[in-house]
Structure formats: structure tokens, C-alpha cells
Structure 1
């Protein structure tokens, strides 16, 4: 493959670093990204895209760079939201909002996609159109569904969709991808057991959920093996449990157990969730307890299309980047997975450094040096498809 000339200019990296740090200082959590969206809209709007969509699926922003000639529609997506975690980073651009921080790198991902928009503005695609999407509510798994369900999405529905996620623990700047399963599906399940309180001196006068709660705490993590799922394909993680009130005079009457269920694909995930619900119902009924179930933070599995993956791998080769081998899908989840249901999609990882603070750590900060590399990789893909 002959190298494709790129429009991205390394001289604009300081501008993107500045944008990234401004975003880092003003994080907003899922569903509350109004100011972040306004800042992004102003930046991308100044590049004079052919179309600028706002309020997409909530606070989503999309800009279209259209050649006016027949060709594919190619979407590049990043995330707008931060996390409800206090930022303790020792940097001048630390979060100014108590209890909230860009501790997953979405600020860096936004800077990369903004840089790609700048490259498309500097030299429009020759055929088809390039779409940059800043998606809301990634951290809760609600954003992709809201964007795709928005009637305006039909006007930008792509033939291909691409995304990246930085990944600490991988050498700085190394990239990794694999076709097929790439990220697990996941969903949170909350189980509430209700009996009847009593005086602690007469527990027999009430109905305690303690024994049932203990059964679920032991049974849920063992559930994948119990129903015949391999350990590399599914897991259940207990994340919260509460029994009654913190009072020595009261025998408890209610309990809560929360768990996150993860599977390598959506079919296994449905089966695992159904089995967890059935286990909770069986335990509650046997102990004579009322049961209430709820789910939240549901993520589809990310499955990389073979053709889209090959296009990303060509960009790796053209940019001569170090490749980190990905032998198995990642157990963490990403809200990009749902895009695979409407188009050919691929997600890859970009190493943030072997010893870098991990994602969601309170001292995590996106490595600015990755911004230029991320722009160049995405632009390679865009130029290969759209010229």
C-alpha cells in the first residue's frame, strides 16, 4: 500500500493538548455533559463542517465533512462523559469539580477526534463523508442506544464506525486489535430481599433475609461454572451488599445484593442474566421473602468486524506503530459495542504506558503524547476509505 498523505499537522498538537486539559478541568458525568458538549460544538463548529448536529441522543455532538461525491460514510466516535470519582492528580489541570474527574481518558479521546475533525477541515475527503461523533453517557451504557435511537442519527448512519480506548498496562503508544470478540458485555443486577424486622432479642418474631443474602453472596460468583460457562467466557462480581440497619437493637428485615455480570457475547450474557434472576427468585421463595430486581449500566459486547479490523491494521502498518498482541477479549465493557448492530465497526486500544495509573484510578491522567498518534491513525483509516 502506498502511503497516503495526511492533513494532520503536528504543529496543532499544542492546541489539542490545551483543549484536552480544559476538558479535564471541567468533567461532567453521564447525562450531564451540557457544558462539555457546548465547548466541543464551539471548537468543531469553528472548523466549518458541512453539517453540525447537537443534542444527539442527549448531549451528543456530530460533525459531517462531506465530499459531495459518492462513497462510504465513515464514523469516528469518542465519549463526552467523566466519572463520579474525585480527581487527586498532581497536575495544574486537575479537575475543578469535587467528586468528578476525567479518569478514564475521555478528555484525551475527545481531543483526538477534534484533531481528526481539523484534519478533515484542512482537506475534505475526496469521496463519501467522514463523521466525527462525541457520544454522551458512555460510562452508564446508555449513550450509544440513545444516539442510535435519535431520528437525526438516520441522517448520518455510517457504513463503518471506528473508536479507540487508551489502555494503561500496555506500552506507551503501542496499539492492539483483534477481529471478533473484543470486549465483554456487562450489566448490573440489584437484588432486594424483604422480610420483617423484629427486636434483636426476639429475632423469631421477624423474618430476617440474612441467610438468603449469604446464599446469594456465595452463589452468584459461582453461577457461570454452575450453568456450564467457561471462566474465560463469563464472570459475576459482587460489588455491594447491605443487611438491615446499623443498629444493635434491630433484627434485619431487608437486604440488598448487587452484582455485575459479564459475558464474552450478548447471547451468553442473556443466559447469565436469566440464570441470576432465577437464582434470586428461588432463594427468596425458599426463605419466604419478597423479591425486587432491577438492572442498570447495560453494555453490549464489542465484536470487531473483520473488514473494519483489517482497515485499522493497515493504518498500524502505515504509521509504523508498535503492535501489542491481543490474544483474548477484554473483560471490561465499552458502550461502542451497540454500533456493531448497525454498521461494520472496530475498536482498538492505544497503550498509555506499562506503569501508568489504571483507568478509574483517582490519579489517572491521559498521556498528551498520544493525541497526535491517535489523530494520525484515525486519519489513515479515513483517507483509505474516503481519499
Structure 2
């Protein structure tokens, strides 16, 4: 079964919704205009319940099917990124320094398309919970919605999400059982030495030299402390120090990210970072403070639900259009929902074009009917109407 005919008929609507949302990108939990637009469309569709203000601007809408049954959750993220758009599109961002550079406008449009179809047809039992989530990029809106009780309040039994994927074959679905995206943690290192004249380094304790050595030493965690079969990334992304060429600075700040899939590997990284930072501080005779912030956990697909999601994806894209993907070292706060309920996260290929988080990125509207059809068929297959 390819794209659902009724959903194909909504293609122009989904494109219009998406392009409107593209003009009004919002950040973090502050997705007020976006949420208002979504709520207005859902009311037009005739959803049975509307719950707003979850995680500040999140929405959970309920559509009742025919007869008793469980509740299946479908999630779309709504937030944008703090970057300037360079697409030149007629519907480009109206807000300087904000851009839908990850396709969350498209994810929202796909779920709205599925919502309209499901509200019209109701060819399923039980209920569907439509989860429109803010703050995926930063702020952990998924975690906040879970903490505010959506899984229990709405009795959600399983949950699914889609993310667009530039560079993957158009209309293809890509997923895997188990870990599909990594945990994302952040480290901050503050070094305090003794500043002085650059011509008299022996009178100073130079944090710049210590920082260079420390950054190199941190990479030995990857090369010498972990099993080569364990996936691990440690990237130092910022070093800030100094003001001019003839002054040795007093302080230095080092910042970076750690990506893991396994809690034991994560714990090893924390332990070795503490040891390396303390050892390097002693070596160079300065003070050093490490702050390790635990971020999004790994996104782990349930094995059984992934098999089911692949079957449904095959109905929409054909068996040749469903692929097993390698794990991705990026992170995703849908992980918090998958920690509470079984489900699956899938990538939907949108063909060639700029990658996500790029100033020239744009969501491919032609994949919206494919994603919406997947959501709709997922509900109908998971919770079929039982004949009496």
C-alpha cells in the first residue's frame, strides 16, 4: 500500500502549513505562535480532547477510535535553531537569528496531516495521542513532557516518531532495533594559573600550555581506554583564553561534548576525565575544575516495535524502501519517551540537499504525505477496529 489517497489529497495543505511555520521559527520551550497554529488546525479537524500548555507550549491532542482499546502516541517536535537562514526562499524565516534548519516544521506538518486523516476516518480502536513537543534542540522538552506525566495521564502504551534525513534516498525509511542515537553530555573545564608578562613566562603559571596538553590527553580516553568495539566520541569544541599577544592569561575555559551509547562507557569517560584533569593540573601547577553535565540519554528503539514499524513502513515505501541504519552519534530527546514506553524512531529520507543544521537547509515538502501515511497506517495496524 503506497501513500494513502486521502493524505495525498492533503499535500497542498501540508505544504502550506509547513511553509507558514517555516516563517515563524521559535526556540526552546517558547513555541507560542507555533503551538497556537497547531491548536487551531487540530480544533478544525475535530479532535476529541485538546491539552495545551504542557512543557509550557506543548500539546497533546486525543482522537478516539471505534471501540475500546489502548492509546498509541505519535510525536512531532516543533522548535527551531538559533541561526540565520541563507536559503533565499520566499517563505524564509521572518526572524533574524532563528531558522527551521532541522525540519521540525515538516515534522509538525506531517503529524497534522495524519491527525486530519485519523479524525476523519477513525478506522482504529482505542485512542491516538498526538504529541506536539517544544524544545528538542535544547531544553529537553521531551523530558519535561514526560516529567509532567503525559505517558500516565493519557495512558500511552507505545510511542513513535519520524525525523527527516537529507542525503538518504527520497521516501526511504531508515531505522534499527536498539540504540539508534547517542547520549549527549557536555563537559566544562576551568583552569586557573597565574598571569603575567609573556616575555617572562617563568614568573607565570600558563593555562594555555596546560589547556593544549589537556585537550590532547582527553583524546587518549577514546584511543586507549575504551574497547574499540564501543562507540565513543569526545570532541573539544571551545577554548577561550587571553586578550593580547604579550600577556599570559590567568584563566582558560575548555568545553566540549561526549557521545556514548553505553552507561558503562559513559561512567568510564567521567572517571578518566576527572583523573586526567586532576593529573594535568598537578603537572602544570595550576587549579582545574571539571563540570560534567549529563544530557539526553541514548535513543533506544524497542526491538519488537521496530519490527512492526518496519512492516508498516514497507507498506508505504515498499520493502526496498526500508533500510537498517547504523547508529548515529547525534542525540534526540525522544529518548525520554522511549525510556518510558516501547516504540521506535525512524529516519525518512528526503533526497539530496543541504544537511540539517545548515543555513541553506530546507525540508522537502514532497515527503510529507509519506510520513503522514506512515503515521496513519501505524495507528490502523497497531489498533485495528474489531468487528462485533
- Could you state the TM-score of these two structures normalised by the residue count of structure 1? 0.92
- Over residues 41-86 of structure 1, what are the superposed CA-to-partner deviations in whole Å (9 max), with x where a residue is unaligned? 2222322222211121232111111237332211111111100111
Say if 1:221 and 1:238, in contact at 8 Å, map to a contact too: no
CA RMSD of aligned residues (A): 2.2
* TM-aligned CA deviation for residue 219 of structure 1: 1.9
**Equivalent residue for 1:203?**
201
Q: 1:364 aligns with which of 344, 361, 365?
A: 361
Q: 1:229 aligns with which of 227, 230, 254?
A: 227
Alignment of 1:209-224 (within 5 A): 209-224=207-222
* Structure 2 residue 247 is the aligned partner of structure 1 residue 250: yes
Matches of 1:219 and 1:338 in 2, distance apart? 32
* TM-aligned CA deviation for residue 232 of structure 1: 5.8
**Equivalent residue for 1:80?**
78
* Structure 2 residue 308 is the aligned partner of structure 1 residue 275: no
* TM-aligned CA deviation for residue 280 of structure 1: 2.1
Structure 2 residue matching 1:139: 3-state secondary structure: coil
Structure 2 residue matching 1:132: 3-state secondary structure: strand
Alignment of 1:329-344 (within 5 A): 329-344=327-342
Give the direction of change, closer, same or farther, for the CA distance of 1:282–1:178 in structure 2 (3 Å limit): same
* TM-aligned CA deviation for residue 320 of structure 1: 3.7
Matches of 2:240 and 2:200 in 1, distance apart? 21
Matches of 1:41 and 1:229 in 2, distance apart? 49
Consecutive unaligned residues of structure 1, counting only runs of 5 or more, are none
Alignment of 1:126-137 (within 5 A): 126-137=124-135
* TM-aligned CA deviation for residue 165 of structure 1: 0.9
Say if 1:266 and 1:300, in contact at 8 Å, map to a contact too: no
**Equivalent residue for 2:157?**
159
* TM-aligned CA deviation for residue 230 of structure 1: 2.0
Q: How many residues align?
A: 383
* TM-aligned CA deviation for residue 211 of structure 1: 2.2
Matches of 1:131 and 1:266 in 2, distance apart? 31
Matches of 1:254 and 1:311 in 2, distance apart? 54
Structure 1 residue matching 2:47: 3-state secondary structure: coil
Structure 2 residue matching 1:29: 3-state secondary structure: coil
- Could you state the TM-score of these two structures normalised by the residue count of structure 2? 0.92
* TM-aligned CA deviation for residue 92 of structure 1: 0.8
